[in-house]
């Protein structure tokens, strides 16, 4: 681990805390675009001109209601605290440039501050008028989204913006909080606890940009504090409530919102779902070099935000009740969401390893995803990957770039029937991966953290013991459908039954409850892939339209 000059000594360099999509060359031209005269003329109908006589603060850290400010005359400086005290200018907006980043598209609190530099005239567009602008002015909307992406990349790369998470990197609570911040692309830095704060503070804690300290925050409380969650409006009836922001759900929300439906997406953790935990997706159309799940998820979220989708992040849906065409979703924490239709896109989650004591090591040695965050933890060490599917294969290849050696344990006698050939070839040709077929993991041992692993060969009974402190488990998935028990029909494994059966509306994605649809990995017999989940998410919205217009067909 290295530290960046200028940051406190125990600050871990940003490679650990920024998502991998942020590790890229900064594009200033895309981050700070200049609008044309004609664009500014069009924008005048959305806002009003205002002159500030001198230096005036336009928004401060945490402001959730900042307008969009376009400079007509004068200038805006954007700044954040410098590590050594004082402030550091991160951007200067001049004629026809605009201030704001992610916070223009959602209710996230600002992570920088902005003020006019001198006598300045701005075109101010109220936040409530932005969704209308984003829908109607496609070319300008694209510039705003692009600027939001690149400004966020700049903030993530910088490492001095956002919140500071302090704790021990071996603490599972720290891993959970870091994963949450990374997967939501929230600027932050991690500080390893020192002796003094281990004694005096309740760890982990998060220092907010206004200096407040929150100790051991629950994910939902942190999400609310940072404005990552947009809480559902209690007096609103949505046209579509999408449950789950994996690739399928995000596609459904994007299509619904872009077609003018009032759309909310409710997500238990972070956008991206299973795909968001993939180090590289190489079989998704349009990305010949592959794309990390995190990047795909962030881009998809912005695209959905652009069309006005409401994202309620870090809220689990715990039940749904349907009466007279109205569906009421109950969220953990007690909030209720009313919607005329529901798209279930809750996907699946990885099976746990059936080895005694596995819970003890979850997030402190035992992982269900192999992203850059986990990879850096096991740099230069031996690791174990368990599973015979594509995700396990990808993990082995990815981790072999960081680990000293990867042992890959599979129950079956070969990978042929469960893994794509391109992955098998790469595993076989790698000198850093040892494939152990026909084996079962039988023991996980250690103290506070995992230290040793054992596996046995099924036929010979040979037992292999190794000092391995990081195990990646990818042994198949179970549907996230517990919240639907007793409401919609499920198959014996818990996948949601859709379409075609007797009494069902005649569309591939409808469940037995009119107005509730299911797509992606949670749906029985679906193809468990990113592209198919995205495809189903986009197609289902035409069924939803017909349902809402009262034009669906029943058998």
Given the complex with ligand FAD, which of 66 and 275 has the nearer CB atom? 275
Cβ of 474: how many Cβ atoms within 10 Å? 24
**Residue 87 CB contacts under 8 Å (≥ 6 apart), including other chains:** 79, 80, 81, 113
528 binds ligand FAD (CB under 6 A): yes
CA distance to 40, 113, 142, per residue, from 29 (Å): 18, 21, 14
Task: Rule CB under 6 A: choose which of 281, 343, 419, 441 binds ligand FAD.
Answer: 281
Q: Which of 140, 474 has the CB closer to ligand FAD?
A: 474
User: Minimum CB separation from ligand FAD for residue 446, in Å?
Assistant: 24
Q: Based on the shown chain and the rule CB under 6 A, indicate whether residue 483 belongs to the binding site for ligand FAD.
A: yes
Residue 425 C-beta: closest distance to ligand FAD, Å: 16
Residues 241, 237: Cα–Cα separation, whole Å: 9
Residues touching ligand FAD, count (CB under 6 A): 38
Find the binder of ligand FAD among 56, 529, 539, 552 (CB under 6 A).
529
- What minimum distance in Å lies between the beta carbon of 367 and ligand FAD? 10
Largest CA distance in the chain: 83
Q: Measured from the CB of residue 144, what is the shortest distance to ligand FAD in angstroms? A: 26
Q: Does 530 bind ligand FAD (CB under 6 A)?
A: yes
| Euclidean distance between CA atoms 98 and 106, whole angstroms | 17
Indicate which single residue of 229, 258, 274, 487 sits in contact with ligand FAD (rule: CB under 6 A): 274
The separation between the first and the last C-alpha atoms of the chain, rounded to the nearest angstrom, is: 62
Question: Taking the complex as a whole, how short is the minimal distance between the CB of residue 371 and ligand FAD, in angstroms?
Answer: 9
366-367 sheet: strands from edge to edge = 366-367, 470-473, 382-386, 405-409, 433-436
Q: Are 126 and 50 in contact (CB under 8 A)?
A: no
Q: Does 297 bind ligand FAD (CB under 6 A)?
A: no
Binds ligand FAD by CB under 6 A, chosen from 147, 261, 345, 373: 345
Q: Considering the rule CB under 6 A, would residue 240 count as an interface residue with ligand FAD?
A: no
> What does the H/E/C string look like for 232-296?
CCCCCEECEEEECCCHHHHHHHHHHHHCCCCEEEEECCCCCCCHHHCCCECCCCCCCCCECHHHH
Stretch of 76-84, 268-276, 401-409, 429-437 lying at the interface with ligand FAD (CB under 6 A): 268-276
Rule CB under 6 A: say whether 423 interacts with ligand FAD.
no
Q: Is 249 in the site for ligand FAD (CB under 6 A)?
A: yes
Beta carbon of residue 209, minimum distance to ligand FAD (angstroms, whole number)? 27
The β-bridge relationship of strands 310-313 and 366-367 is unpaired
Which part of the chain contacts ligand FAD (CB under 6 A), choosing from 90-98, 320-328, 386-394, 452-460? 386-394
Cβ neighbors of 425 (< 8 A, separation 6 or more) are none
Is 533 a binder of ligand FAD (CB under 6 A)?
yes
Q: How far apart are CA 253 and CA 342, in angstroms?
A: 11
User: Does the footprint of ligand FAD cover residue 269 (CB under 6 A)?
Assistant: yes
Part in contact with ligand FAD (CB under 6 A); list of ranges 118-126, 181-189, 387-395, 544-552: 387-395
The total of other beta-carbon atoms located within 10 Å of residue 486's CB is 7
Q: What is the dihedral of CA 520, 524, 525, 529, to 10 degrees?
A: 20
| Binding window for ligand FAD (CB under 6 A); candidates: 43-51, 276-284, 303-311, 398-406 | 276-284
Q: Is the Cβ of residue 21 or residue 150 nearer to ligand FAD in the bound state?
A: 21
Under rule CB under 6 A, residue 267 binds ligand FAD: yes
Indicate the residue among 40 and 518 with the shorter CB distance to ligand FAD: 518
Q: Of 67 and 374, which CB lies nearer to ligand FAD in the complex structure?
A: 374
DSSP 146: H
Closest distance to ligand FAD from the beta carbon of 488 (Å): 13
Q: Tell whether residue 268 is a contact of ligand FAD (CB under 6 A).
A: yes
Residue selected from 244, 499, 508, 515 as contacting ligand FAD according to rule CB under 6 A: 244
Residue 133 CB neighbours (<10 A): 19
Among 160, 369, 496, 518, binds ligand FAD (CB under 6 A): 369
Residue 264 lies near ligand FAD (rule: CB under 6 A) = no
Q: How far is CA 315 from CA 109, 203, 288, 333, in A?
A: 18, 24, 34, 8
Tokens representing residue 310 in the block? 């409401």
Q: Tell me: does residue 312 bind ligand FAD (CB under 6 A).
A: no
Q: Does 298 bind ligand FAD (CB under 6 A)?
A: no
Helix (H) or strand (E) holding 53: none
Distance separating alpha carbons of residues 521 and 480, to the nearest angstrom: 9
- Give φ, ψ of 516 to 5 degrees: -110, 125
Residue numbers of the site for ligand FAD (CB under 6 A)? 243-249, 266-269, 273-275, 277-278, 281-283, 316-317, 345-348, 369, 390-391, 394, 480, 483, 520-521, 528-531, 533
């Amino acid at each position: 681990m290295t530290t960046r000059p200028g940051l406190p000594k125990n600050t871990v360099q940003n490679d650990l805390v920024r998502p991998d999509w942020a590790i890229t060359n900064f594009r200033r031209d895309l981050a700070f675009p200049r609008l044309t005269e004609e664009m500014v003329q069009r924008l005048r109908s959305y806002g009003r001109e205002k002159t500030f006589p001198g230096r005036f603060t336009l928004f401060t850290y945490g402001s959730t209601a900042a307008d969009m400010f376009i400079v007509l005359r004068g200038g805006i400086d954007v700044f954040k605290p410098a590590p050594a005290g004082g402030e550091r200018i991160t951007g200067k907006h001049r004629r026809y440039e605009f201030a704001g980043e992610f916070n223009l598209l959602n209710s996230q609190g600002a992570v920088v501050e902005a003020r006019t530099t001198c006598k300045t005239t701005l075109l101010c567009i109220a936040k409530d008028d932005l969704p209308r602008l984003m829908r109607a002015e496609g070319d300008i909307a694209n510039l705003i989204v692009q600027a939001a992406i690149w400004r966020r990349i700049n903030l993530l790369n910088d490492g001095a913006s956002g919140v500071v998470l302090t704790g021990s990197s071996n603490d599972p609570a720290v891993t959970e909080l870091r994963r949450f911040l990374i997967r939501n692309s929230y600027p932050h830095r991690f500080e390893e606890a020192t002796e003094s704060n281990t004694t005096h503070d309740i760890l982990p804690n998060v220092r907010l940009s206004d200096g407040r300290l929150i100790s051991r925050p629950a994910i939902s409380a942190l999400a609310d504090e940072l404005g990552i969650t947009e809480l559902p409006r209690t007096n609103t009836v949505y046209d579509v409530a999408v449950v789950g922001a994996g690739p399928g759900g995000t596609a459904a929300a994007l299509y619904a919102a872009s077609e003018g439906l009032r759309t909310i997406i409710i997500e238990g953790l972070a956008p991206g779902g299973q795909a968001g935990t993939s180090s590289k997706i190489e079989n998704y159309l349009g990305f010949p070099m592959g794309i990390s799940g995190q990047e795909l998820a962030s881009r998809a979220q912005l695209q959905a935000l652009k069309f006005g989708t409401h994202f309620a992040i870090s809220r689990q849906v715990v039940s749904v009740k349907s009466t007279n065409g109205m569906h009421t979703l109950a969220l953990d924490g007690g909030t209720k969401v009313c919607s005329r239709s529901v798209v279930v896109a809750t996907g699946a989650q990885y099976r746990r390893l059936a080895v005694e004591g596995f819970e003890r090591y979850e997030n402190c040695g035992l992982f269900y995803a192999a992203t850059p965050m986990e990879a850096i933890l096991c740099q230069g060490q031996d690791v174990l990957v368990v599973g015979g599917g594509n995700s396990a294969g990808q993990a082995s290849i990815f981790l072999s770039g960081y680990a000293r050696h990867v042992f890959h344990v599979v129950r079956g006698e070969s990978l042929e029937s469960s893994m794509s050939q391109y992955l098998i070839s790469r595993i076989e040709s790698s000198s850093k991966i040892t494939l152990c077929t026909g084996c079962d993991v039988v023991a996980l041992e250690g103290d506070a953290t995992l230290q040793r692993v054992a596996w046995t060969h099924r036929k010979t009974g040979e037992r292999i013991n190794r000092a391995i402190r990081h195990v990646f488990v990818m042994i198949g998935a179970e549907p996230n459908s517990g919240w639907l028990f007793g409401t919609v029909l499920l198959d014996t494994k818990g996948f949601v039954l859709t379409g075609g059966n007797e009494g069902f509306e005649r569309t591939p994605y409808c469940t037995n409850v009119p107005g509730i649809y299911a797509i992606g990995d949670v749906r029985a017999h679906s193809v468990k892939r990113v592209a198919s989940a995205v495809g189903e998410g986009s197609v289902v919205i035409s069924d939803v339209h017909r349902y809402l217009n009262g034009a669906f067909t029943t058998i």
